[in-house]
Chain A
Amino acid sequence: MPYLNVAEVETALAVANTQPNNTITQLISLPNQTWEGRGCHALKIANGTGPGRPGIYFIGGVHAREWGSSDILINFVEQLLQAYQANKGITLGSSKFTAAQIQSIVNTKDIYIFPQVNPDGRHYSMTVDPDWRMNRRPAANAHPTCLGVDINRNYDFLWDYPVYFDPNAPIVNSKDPCSPDYTYIGPAVFSEPETRNVVWMMDTFPNIRYFIDIHSYSEDILYCWGDDQNQIVNQSMSFQNSAFNGKRGIANDATYREYIDPTDQAAIVALATQMRDAIKGVRGRSYTVEQSLSLYPTAGTSDDYAFSRHRTDPTKPKIFAYTIEWGSPSNATPFHPRYTEMQRIIREVTAGLLDFCVRAT
Chain B
Amino acid sequence: MPRYRVTIQGQDYAAMADLVRKHRVDVARHTVQELPTGGYSVQAHLEKDQIGVLEAAGYTISRHENSEKAGKRRQSEIGSGNRYQ
Contacts and interface: CB of A to CB of B under 8 A. Distances in A.
Contacts of A5: 78-80, 82
A268 to B, nearest CB: 17
A220 B78 contact: no
B65 A332 contact: yes
A86 interface: no
Contacts of A36: none
Given A332-B65, A338-B74, A325 B30 contact: yes
A241 interface: no
Interface in B1-31: 3, 5, 13, 16-21, 24-31
Contact of A180 (B5, B26, B67, B80): B26
Given A168-B17, A171-B20, A131 B68 contact: yes
Main secondary structure of the interface of A (DSSP, over half): loop
Nearest to B43: A329
A295 B24 contact: no
B40 interface: yes
Interface string A163-207: 000001011101010011110000000000000000000000000
Nearest to B30: A218
A333 B77 contact: no
Contacts of B26: 133, 180-182
A220 B79 CA distance: 28
B70 A333 contact: yes
Contact of B21 (A168, A182, A222, A335): A168
22 contacts: A2-B79, A7-B82, A8-B83, A14-B84, A65-B71, A130-B67, A130-B72, A130-B75, A131-B68, A170-B20, A170-B21, A171-B20, A180-B26, A181-B20, A218-B31, A222-B30, A294-B29, A295-B17, A295-B40, A329-B31, A334-B43, A339-B77
